[in-house]
Chain A
């Protein structure tokens, strides 16, 4: 009876696990099959390095790849110091009341819908960038990555905080008993000890910002061109997918969506591999 129950439970749990594996693979195959017409005859390389000019039969997504990389890396670059500072305050430096307040605020921030960030970006950030640099419309890499930084930093802060809080108390006692100031304790003991968690936070939020669609769609301007500066307007892979799908279903142009999907899939796989690597290093 009990054994029977065990077996059934195992089956019931195994099925969804199997299903999710199959789905993930199916999506990959699906994109591969639909993207194939664009990549026939060794044109995949051309596809990811070429420029976008549908009028001339060129469907290169290189500008989108560049746009995605620029926005994702710049947003992590902005979010990192912000998150380090915030996590340090919450875990180590701030008095208890303020730290609790900050902690709750960060948790709350994770729940704010992305579209709100985009909205605020359009009405607050874009005009400021436009006025400040007097260069173009203000819909650019800089605007998108600043807003995206705000969007990903709660995740980063939470991961950092968790890794700071995991530093053994005996280490903290050692630093305290030897006359270390709170800042010294943070810099010499907590941060080196939390290195793995810091990497995890950075990689996770990198994945998050690579995959984000709405912020770039609303704030980056969506111009299809290889960016030359952070004030240039770009289109990300995700925004490209969203825009093309919204407008047409038949053309070869539409097929480029699948190439974008594949690239994003590849990025995502890379992120996972990096996470696994960092994890395995930590457990050694």
Chain B
């Protein structure tokens, strides 16, 4: 039965399943019955006019929306970890674990006011890593993955705020990568950067596809054309 095989094949490649997701903010419905699948090791771009809930949708995948007062969500989000789909809103599912496996990069680079090194190592500190050598190795690896190592290796202990906007954003990507997340969410990561800095990040994302499933909200159609494997247009037509 070729049809079933095809179905399982497809099922095998799915990383995230979203089912009948509704989202309200102060009684205004932002997302209505969203059901989507995201394929593993691909870049999915979410495009559409502002106010259609693109960023909100991203935050339903790492539960960051829960910090917003007066917000409400209904529906199911399942992410595949170690071969099984897990309901990330289940009580038994640890929020900390989720956020470590689903990294996020924001529209405006948000390094913390500490050194470059400490910024990248920060997630390890949160996760309780004590071994200095291991931390050092991981920091170097993450900075290399984020194409930043060569530019900062001689000044790791300078303040992160000394870096340019593009470098700061790559620093945030390095910080998100250091815990080796399986999913990476990016909310218009290049919109505050100039074209060159943006291009570097695009190349970087294409490279990262090998490691994680990437979902990116973008305003730039040319950017989407260059990097996206799949494009989803908000508002979704049901």
Asked if B112 and A177 sit within 8 Å, CB to CB, the answer is no
Rounded to whole angstroms, the CA-CA distance of A180 and B122 in the bound complex is 10
Task: For A277, list chain B residues within 8 Å (CB).
Answer: none
Most chain A CB neighbours (cut-off 10 Å) among B67, B112, B123, B176: B112
Nearest to A185 among chain B residues (CB) is: B126
Q: Is B100 an interface residue (CB 8 A)?
A: yes
- Nearest to B105 among chain A residues (CB) is A177
Within 8 Å of chain B (Cβ to Cβ): is A262?
no
Q: Does A173 contact B (CB under 8 A)?
A: yes
* Residue of chain B at shortest CB distance from A168: B110
User: What are 20 residue pairs bridging A and B, where the CB atoms are less than 8 Å apart in the complex?
Assistant: A96-B69, A174-B110, A174-B112, A176-B67, A177-B62, A177-B103, A177-B106, A177-B176, A178-B100, A178-B122, A178-B175, A179-B98, A179-B127, A179-B179, A180-B96, A181-B96, A181-B126, A184-B126, A188-B126, A189-B112
- Whether A170 contacts B110 by the Cβ 8 Å rule is yes
Contact partner, A177, options B104, B108, B113, B125, Cβ 8 Å: B104
Looking at A175, A181, A192, the one whose CB has the most chain B CB atoms below 10 A away is: A175
Task: Give min CB distance, B221 to chain A, whole Å.
Answer: 27
Q: How many residues of A contact B (CB 8 A)?
A: 19
C-alpha gap A96/B123 in the complex (Å): 27
A170 near B126 with CB under 8 A, answer no
How far is A181 from B98 in the complex, measured between Cα atoms in Å? 12
Flag whether B64 is at the interface (Cβ < 8 A).
yes
**3 closest residue pairs by CB, A with B:** A179-B99, A170-B110, A177-B104
Closest chain-B Cβ to A188's Cβ sits at a distance in Å of 7
Whether B175 pairs with A170 at a CB distance below 8 angstroms is no
A119 interface hit (Cβ, 8 Å): no
Contact A178 B108 (CB under 8 A): no
Minimal Cβ-Cβ distance residue in B for A193:
B113
B84 within 8 A of A: no
A181 to B99, CA, bound (A): 10
**Binary contact track A247-284/B, C-beta < 8 Å → 1, others 0:** 00000000000000000000000000000000000000
Q: Specify which chain A residues have a CB less than 8 angstroms from the CB of B96 in the assembled complex.
A: 179-181
